[in-house]
Structure 1
């Protein structure tokens, strides 16, 4: 499998010397997330792996993920339906898990986290995180600091 890389927009936002450190941190976070994925069906597990590796470039499409795991898009949809899920559900679950992991890294700004999760705008990340958890990313991060 091809190793994911950070989008150019994140590299530029992070600055030259911060780029290598931020890239290493993002890759270690992605690997940690991949290690914690549940033992669902093999297909669901593989879908989550592909989405997690590619999410920083924006949410991958069903067709793109299907090609990577060697299924046609309709078969992939059918397999997910058997699990009671849609492709969007899987992408959202991966983004939420990565967001929670990345928010534990105090050295990452909310803007950097938004880019790592494939959001074009921090406000889109903020809205999604509030939908997932009922609180803003900043408030969620502060509760971690006081816990």
Structure 2
């Protein structure tokens, strides 16, 4: 396992990626909202009112597991392949600028992936006399892992096919799962030799392809600098992960622990290592969000109070005055 992955930090995923995975549920029968709720996806995911960019990676894991459980294997493969090919992968390719070689393009892709998913690592490597595209991911014993690895294999197959004009055909594939049956049915992998139970997921790539220039109409000519959260400490990632769930005010620690797939004592211990307490951090985050809302003159103070979890404006005003030494109305007047 790589040494640069911080095991204390909360794994994060970009909001746009959660939207993509949630959209895959729309093909299922019935309403998707109970499924989103079960996956711990915030109710305002599709709302433009709340400006958060990251969610806990558990939301994506839960969505993939739900999708895998609701669909037959081939239905899952067909749905994911189509969505990756037509929606997800073009978004990544449009941010690529490296055309000199497949390796350069893949290295650039790996760098931009870090801004989307903080605890998944993808990289190129030359070992055993051949080139590989490698994916590192922990959690093989978790319920979501097999379908998540299948999704990743489908994604990488479609990505490599797109970047090589369908010329890529791997001779060898390593997977972390113990069974290769569902993987060997993928069109790009029908002639591949599989190695199961590996520590990483890996795809062999011929050197002739790896060093060849890449030509794809979606590759940009502009340089994009991807924003990336600081994920080298627990507190910073905790704040990013929990922010989307504060739309209804102060979040009980039991609920926060459940969302982050931690037990309460672990959450308290990790925050204590950062010399902070859960209640204090949440109160500060709620206050910061409240201050932002008060800067919007079109929002009534009563509406803000309800939105932040207070039973009425009076309770909200007392709590706000205790923290800011002024009323919400007085604070708002500073911006008029």
- Does the alignment reach a TM-score above 0.5? yes
Aligned residue in 1 for 2:259: 68
Q: Which secondary structure does the structure 2 equivalent of 1:123 belong to?
A: helix
1:48 corresponds, among 222, 233, 239, to 239
Q: State the 1:62 CA deviation.
A: 1.0
**Superposition RMSD on alpha carbons, in Å?**
2.6
Aligned residue in 1 for 2:270: 79
> Residues of 1 paired with 2:42 and 2:298: CA distance?
22
* Structure possessing the higher relative contact order (Cα contacts under 8 Å, 6 or more residues apart): 1
> Residues of 1 paired with 2:323 and 2:267: CA distance?
25
- Residues 94-138 of structure 1 show CA distances to partners (whole Å, capped at 9, x for unaligned) of 111001100110000001111221212212211121111110000
Aligned residue in 2 for 1:126: 317
User: Looking at CA atoms only, which structure, 1 or 2, has the larger radius of gyration?
Assistant: 2
Asked whether the 8 Å contact 1:39–1:45 carries over to 2, the reply is: yes
Deviates more, 1:91-100 or 1:52-61: 52-61
For normalisation by structure 2, the TM-score amounts to: 0.33
Deviates more, 1:62-71 or 1:50-59: 50-59
1:5 corresponds, among 43, 58, 61, to 43
* Alignment gaps of 5+ in structure 2: 1-17, 19-39, 56-228
1:99 corresponds, among 287, 290, 294, to 290
Aligned length: 123
The structure where strand makes up a greater share of residues is 2
**Which 4+ residue blocks in structure 1 deviate beyond 4 angstroms?**
38-41
For normalisation by structure 1, the TM-score amounts to: 0.70
Asked whether the 8 Å contact 1:58–1:119 carries over to 2, the reply is: yes
* Alignment gaps of 5+ in structure 1: 7-19
> Residues of 1 paired with 2:311 and 2:234: CA distance?
29
> Residues of 2 paired with 1:96 and 1:103: CA distance?
10
Asked whether the 8 Å contact 2:305–2:312 carries over to 1, the reply is: yes
Q: Which secondary structure does the structure 2 equivalent of 1:144 belong to?
A: coil
Are residues 40 and 127 of structure 1, via their aligned partners in 2, closer, same or farther at CA, if it must alter by over 3 Å? Answer: farther
- Residues 16-45 of structure 1 show CA distances to partners (whole Å, capped at 9, x for unaligned) of xxxx9xx532x23xx28x9xxx95864323
The structure where helix makes up a greater share of residues is 1
